[in-house]
Amino acid sequence: MRLDAVEVHLVGMPLVRSFETSFGVQTERAVLLVRVLTDEGEGWGECVAGTDPVYSSEYVGAVAGVIRDYLAPTLLGLESITAAGVDGALRYVVGHRMAKAALEAAVLDAESRAAGVSFGAVFGATRTSVECGVSVGIAPSIDALLDEVCGYVDAGYRRIKLKIKPGWDLEPVAAVRALLGADALLQVDANTAYTLADVDHLRRLDDFGLVLIEQPFVEEDVAAHAVLARAISTPVCLDESIVSTAVAVDAIDRGATSIVNIKAGRVGGYLEAVRIHDACVERGVPVWCGGMLETGIGRAANVALAALPGFTLPGDTSASDRYYADDLTEPFVLRDGHLDVPTTPGFGLEVRTDLVRAWALREPETLVHRRH
């Protein structure tokens, strides 16, 4: 395809309830969207970066800048582009995987719509629906936590994930385990909140029969996770540490993780996410699809990814109403604990451009190809 223009949109979306992790409390999401215009049609991509650089070094202001100043001009300067070629074209820019992933997704959407194929078909999906879990933030009290969890269980979610941090771990986990019963799928996510000094404390989580403990230590310290994995019986899962296929393979080989959380935005795009999936399948390591409070644009792509055969654990691909009262696409609705995998071309849904305009936080930036 020939890339004619790249638009960057910033949209403000309030959350239906505040979401607290060890990084802080979030009550709304500033969503950065990318729209590409090609000679074969348009495509949309969603960036998972947050408003501030607290989860990742990337944040929406920096993403907008690097797309405007480097990434989009590079792609617009090419005679033709494919989704598979985006990574190589942008590799000269160090890092900025979330920004690159948004552009790749938009190009992939345009490309697959023009070809009349869905993301699921492109990725190699083998299921028509995916089993869904839900991520539960840090609550103001145990009672409030149990009320929230009960609501998600009643809605049909197949797995509960609790955000934990020092001072909010053993007691809430014990309370939720007692509520759910011994056989329910329960896991915890620490978002890098602990250190190796906490190994003995984290070992006490073994009493609760958890599916996994996710990213207890800082992302750069793969060695510390290997130490923890040898010290506890709860499986250790890496999230923020996994930024590429090479890193995933290294972490597995070092015994730092026995389960991998794959987030396409974090690893630089859906095509790299598929490669990580394939590498994990080769090594017998189960994977699941993490969430970043995506709108229907990113959620549709995540659902298609989660339909690959190696995704054997319920992911954080929750229904739209888990986060938003109104979505930027037709909402995803939970049915018997599952979400349907879109089958129409591209990511599978149409963007509600009226809401993109109505909820815009600023005028969109447009970069165009300058013909010589």
- Enzyme catalytic residues: 163, 263
List, in sequence order, every beta strand (DSSP E) within the chain: 3-21, 24-38, 41-47, 129-131, 133-136, 159-163, 185-189, 213-214, 236-238, 259-262, 287-289, 338-340, 365-368
Contact present, 162 and 173 (Cβ < 8 Å): yes
Nearest Cα to 25, choosing from 355, 296, 293?
293
What residues contact residue 209 under an 8 Å CB cut-off, 6+ apart? 177, 182, 186
What is the DSSP code string of 152-217? HHHHT-SEEEEE-BTTBSHHHHHHHHHHH-TTSEEEEE-TT---GGGHHHHHGGGGG--S-EE--S
Helix (H, G, I), strand (E, B) or coil at 108: helix
What residues contact residue 97 under an 8 Å CB cut-off, 6+ apart? 58, 243, 265, 266, 267, 268, 269
Q: How far is CA 6 from CA 1, 25, 34, 71, in A?
A: 14, 32, 7, 10
Helix (H, G, I), strand (E, B) or coil at 1: coil
Contact present, 241 and 264 (Cβ < 8 Å): no
CA separation for the pair 358, 354 (Å, rounded): 6
H-only helix segments in 23-82: 60-66, 72-76
Question: Would strands 338-340 and 365-368 be described as parallel, antiparallel, or unpaired?
Answer: unpaired
CA quadruple 255, 259, 261, 262: dihedral, nearest 10: 80
Q: What is the CA radius of gyration of the chain?
A: 20
